[in-house]
Structure formats: C-alpha cells, structure tokens
Structure 1
Amino acid sequence: METVQFRNPGMAWHIAADLHFPPQFDSNKRYPAIISAHPIGSCKEQTSGNVYGAALAKAGFVVIAFDASYQGASGGEPRLVEDPGQRVEDFRQVVDYLVTLPYVDADRIGVLGICGGGGYAISAIKSERRIKAVASITGVNFGRLSREGFGGYDPIATLEAIAAQRTAEARGGQGRVDDVLPPSVEAAKQAGINDIDVLEATDYYKTARGQAEQGPTSFLLSRRAAAVDWDAFHLAEVLLTQPLLLVIGDKPGGFGAYRDGQELYGRAASKDKELLVLPNTSHYELYDQPEATGKALERLVPFFKKHLG
C-alpha cells in the first residue's frame, strides 16, 4: 500500500488517498482500477480501505481509497463538511489522477461505495463516463437521509436551523459541530434509542472495532443545507446505464439502505444490474464482519472482473 496526495490542475486543495496494489504488482504492467469511497463521517482507513480496498487489491485490482474533501487527511476548509456536490466532484478528481498513472488502464476503471459513499458513487457515475461499472455496499441516499432521519423528518425546520446558524457564524459566532451518533451504545440505550443502525454504527465508530482518528462522525451544521436539497438517484432512469451491483442486508434500519437499494434497482436504466440481498445481515455487518463482507466480496470480485477485465 502507498499513501499519496495529489492536486490536479484547477483543484483548490489536495486529495489524500491510499493505493492498494495486487500481489506481485509490476509497475510496468497495466491494471484495472477501482475507486473505493468511504461512508459519511468516515475515512479511507475504515471499511473502504482496510476491508474492501485490501480484498479487491488481493483479487488483482489497483484500488484507490480516498478521503472526501473537507474530511480525513484531504484538504478543504471549513472542516467536517458533507457537501454532496463536492463529494461527487471528488470522484472526477480521483479519475483525473488515476488516468495519469502508467500502470492503470484508463479504460478499465470502476467504483465502489459503502453507505453514503455508495450513494455518491451512484450519483457520480451517472455523468462520469470514464467509470465503467459501479457497485454499492449497503448504499444510502444521503439526501433522503438528511431530509428524514438526520433532519428529524422535518426538512424545513432543519433548513431554518441551518440558516440561523449560518447567519450567526457570518456575524462572528462559533461554528456548531454535531455528532450524529451517541457517545456509546450504553448511552444510546439509556436515551431510549433502539434503532439497529444507530446502535451498530455506535458500536463500530465509537469503539476499537472501527474507530479511527480521521472518522469523527461529525458535521458542521451551517454547511448541511446542500445535502437536504439533493438526491443521489436523480435521473437514474436516464443516465445510470453502466453495469450496477447493489449489495444490501435484509435487516432494515433507520439509515434506509434496504429501502434505497430496492428503489435504485428498480429505477436504474442499467441493462446489466444485480441486487444481492444477504439474509440475516445488517448494515454494519457489511462494514467489517467476515461472514457478511465475505459474501459481498464473492459477488463483487466476479462483477468487477467481468466488467473491467
């Protein structure tokens, strides 16, 4: 593995990424490449890199797991911003970087996204024709989630709160950073929270299981309006024509991956599309649990080998 930073012409800041290489990698050869996108509030050192990135590299692909702009080790100010437009632009910047690498075959680039990264990957491939195939692991449409669960199912009130906070900051006030998860599973249960996604997310992000310094699960409130007014699946019936693989578990939770996967499978214009529903599997088991991730990879690897060669 190699950690890199790159800044393409026209970029205002750098993107940080980990490159995962196949066994017996030979820089004089050309390989298919996969872009691996982390979940919301996460980073490249978590599931997109250390689980799926490493496994896909072992299967023969060059994999680039990158940190989103404003997050992780990538640049961009202010920090802790989850801007869907920029998240999609990040994919284009990563492709721009990949096509300059002599060992990457520019005609064989795919993309994988986990959770919110899955929604962003879907959105990006609709207009980025250099990406030839897309796979989503328990993918979530962050726009819908921002209007629903992350917005108290009251998007107008959420936007009013964002507007008030932005005005306060414009007048010199302090920024407000919200952690979308409880500090611990015990605290969540004491607060009466019983949603499987919230509890398992807390177990993943707030313990040694998945905790990473650059994955704070926090967002700057004043910069959240763009997410409320966004839809990862917009025009999927028209523009999403590349091969598509959607992997979800059959245990639905509040983040809505089960619902989003079913919806997108029906809407996508792709002629070659697959929906894998794993029984007795939850959203966060697909992050790092060997049985769930192993079953996902059993479908992922042949999917990418078929469509990227």
Structure 2
Amino acid sequence: MADRQDIRFASGDDICAGWLYPSAPGGRRPVIVLAHGIGAIKEMGLNRFAHRFQQAGFNALVFDYRHLGASTGRPRQLVDVPRQLEDWSAALDFAETLESVDRERIAIFGTSFAGGHVITVAAREPRRVKAVVSQCPFTSGWASSQTVSFRTLLWGTVAAIRDLVFSWGDSIVPIALAGKPDDVALMTKPDVWQGYLSLVPRDIAFSNEIAARLLLKLPLLAPGRDAKKVQAPIFFAICAGDSVAPADTSIAYAKEAPRGVVRVFEGMGHFDIYVGEAFEKAMPEYIDFFTKHLA
C-alpha cells in the first residue's frame, strides 16, 4: 500500500489536486476530507494531520482549492468563498467514488479559514457529513477584521476596489497574506509572520498574497452562524490565544451547535497547533473524536 497517492478531481471547469492517504486494505473504511486556511496550500502541514489519521485506520483526502497550489484555475491566488465551498462538495463527490471508502462514514476537517468552511459544509450536507473537526476556526469576518490595523483596512480597501475595477482575465491586484505589524496584510499580529510562513516547506514555491478583492467581503462573512444548523457531531478546537480568529467569538458560536464539543487549548496561538507539542496534544483528541463517531 502506498503511503500517499496523488489525486485529481473536477470542480466546475477546473481541477483540484490533492493527496489520498489510503487506509490499510481490508474493506471499506471511513474517510476524512481535509483542506487548509486562507491562501494556504496542502503542503503547509496538512500532510502531518492526514498521515496521523491514516495511521489510525482512516482514509484521508487532502486537497487544494481552485486557483491555489497544485490546482488549476485562473486567475491565480483568487480566494472566492462560494467557489471554495463548491470545491468541498466536489471533494465529497470524489471521496464517494473511492473503492476504499465507506460512503456512509465521511468526515471533514478544516483549519483556520477552512475551519469556518466545514461548519457551512456540514450544515449544507447533513446526509453526507457524519463528523466534523473545526480547528482554530474563522467564524466571523467582523471579529477577525478587528485584529488588523486601520492602515491595513484603509490601503487594503483601496487595493480591493482596484482589484475589482481594473483586474481582467488572469490579472489581480494583490494584498499580502502574512505581514509584520507595520505591514499592509490580511494578518499582521506579532505571531503571524513567523507562524504562518514557518508552515511553508523550503522546497515549495509559495506566493504570500491573494487577490485583494476578498477584503471587501471578509467583514461580512460569518460561517459561525451556521453552527446551530449542524446536526453532525462537531469538535471545535479553539486556541485561547488566537490572534487571527478571536477565541471568544468562536466559543460563542460553537456553543450553539446541537452536538458540538468545545475544546479550548490554553496557552496556544493560532499557528501553534500545527506543529510540535501543541500538535501532539491535539491529534489524539481528534482521532478519539473521529473514532467514536465513525465507528
């Protein structure tokens, strides 16, 4: 059995690229579908999560959204929430076709921006989604917008308007994803620059920017509102010191989920949970949760 297989599946007119970590042979087994945060690609740590799920006996399917990473889609570096939600549905469709997968035991795992996506996907897909982990979730664009400087909001808005008005075809007006406190970027808290970019492997080409147009919609996004509609068991892993997705807001939304489990990791920031001791602390809880609800 290969530890990992490259996979591709259609989403709209484009192709999403990803990895399949197949479970051990011996019948159809559950699958956990994973995707990353804002502007991030699968190489930025999702392999570690998927490999641990595989070792625990699950299939794990990781994918890049269209316009990012190894997936197709023009213009590059476009983050469009409706399109990303379509990519999630396409990933679930593809998972159901796999011979190793029990299509009655499909779970989803999203982190950061995708931590918000999985709340919405689970609310929309009650038949297919049997369990959810939402890690350090983006639940409120308004709350997250309060974490950036007025300078970023001002010049970012200018860039976003220029992006909408003057970008044609493959062109975009970009804004940086991760920046230092005095930069104009979507994330500028002191732990962001090192935390976000340390997830990028040295041998991977990565663009630290996205199309600025997202900034006009970001404050209006509130996937946390969908938590009360999620009928599946959902585990919210919330970092108490989260500088990007404020913990208090996420906790308030998480408590509205009918079958929600709210786990607050004290002493952790937004980027701590991907690596090291924090990762080792969270993974057993995720595996126990999925094992309980997908058995």
* Superposition TM-score tier, normalisation by shorter sequence: 0.7 to 0.9
Q: Report the equivalent of 1:295.
A: 281
Unmatched tracts of structure 2, length 5 or more: none
Which deviations, in whole Å up to 9, do the C-alpha atoms of 1:114-154 show, x marking residues without a partner?
Answer: 11111111111110121111111111136336644458499
Give the aligned residue type for 1:273: G
Q: Report the equivalent of 2:293.
A: 307
Q: Retained in 2: the 8 A contact 1:67–1:73? A: yes
Q: Report the equivalent of 1:63.
A: 60
- Please report the TM-score for the alignment, with normalisation by the length of structure 2: 0.86
Give the aligned residue type for 2:191: E
**Percent identical:** 22
Aligned mates of 2:253, 2:153 — CA distance in 1: 22
Aligned mates of 1:88, 1:152 — CA distance in 2: 30
Q: Retained in 2: the 8 A contact 1:6–1:16? A: yes
Aligned mates of 1:293, 1:178 — CA distance in 2: 29
For residues 126-275 of structure 1, what are the structure 2 equivalents within 5 Å?
Answer: 126-129=123-126, 130-141=128-139, 143-144=141-142, 147-149=145-147, 152=150, 161-170=159-168, 175-182=172-179, 188=180, 191=182, 198-207=189-198, 210=201, 213=204, 215-237=206-228, 239-253=229-243, 255-268=244-257, 270=258, 272-275=259-262
Q: Retained in 2: the 8 A contact 1:82–1:224? A: no
Q: Report the equivalent of 2:9.
A: 6
Residues 303 and 174 of structure 1: CA distance in aligned 2, closer, same or farther (over 3 Å): closer
Aligned mates of 2:52, 2:70 — CA distance in 1: 22
Give the aligned residue type for 1:7: A
Q: Report the equivalent of 1:37.
A: 35
- Please report the TM-score for the alignment, with normalisation by the length of structure 1: 0.83
Aligned mates of 2:51, 2:208 — CA distance in 1: 23
Aligned mates of 1:212, 1:141 — CA distance in 2: 32
Q: Retained in 2: the 8 A contact 1:286–1:293? A: yes
Give the aligned residue type for 1:39: G
The structure with the largest strand share of the pair is 2
Q: SS of 1:267's equivalent?
A: coil
Q: Report the equivalent of 2:112.
A: 115
Task: Give the alignment partner of residue 87 of structure 2, picking from 86, 90, 93.
Answer: 90
Which deviations, in whole Å up to 9, do the C-alpha atoms of 1:248-304 show, x marking residues without a partner?
Answer: 222242x12423431222222x2x321111222222110112x11111112111110
Aligned mates of 2:151, 2:227 — CA distance in 1: 24
Aligned mates of 1:139, 1:230 — CA distance in 2: 13
Q: Retained in 1: the 8 A contact 2:119–2:226? A: no
Question: What is the aligned-residue RMSD (CA, Å)?
Answer: 2.9
**207-216 or 97-106, which deviates more:** 207-216
Which deviations, in whole Å up to 9, do the C-alpha atoms of 1:167-198 show, x marking residues without a partner?
Answer: 2235x99632111223xxxxx37x499xx973
Give the aligned residue type for 2:233: P
Q: SS of 2:178's equivalent?
A: coil
For residues 41-56 of structure 1, what are the structure 2 equivalents within 5 Å?
Answer: 41-48=39-46, 50-56=47-53
Residues 92 and 151 of structure 1: CA distance in aligned 2, closer, same or farther (over 3 Å): farther
Aligned mates of 1:71, 1:217 — CA distance in 2: 11
Q: Retained in 1: the 8 A contact 2:254–2:260? A: yes
Q: Retained in 1: the 8 A contact 2:245–2:270? A: no
Residues 151 and 278 of structure 1: CA distance in aligned 2, closer, same or farther (over 3 Å): same
Residues 151 and 82 of structure 1: CA distance in aligned 2, closer, same or farther (over 3 Å): farther
Unmatched tracts of structure 1, length 5 or more: 183-187
Aligned residues: 289
Q: Report the equivalent of 1:185.
A: none
Aligned mates of 2:226, 2:114 — CA distance in 1: 18
Residues 152 and 132 of structure 1: CA distance in aligned 2, closer, same or farther (over 3 Å): farther
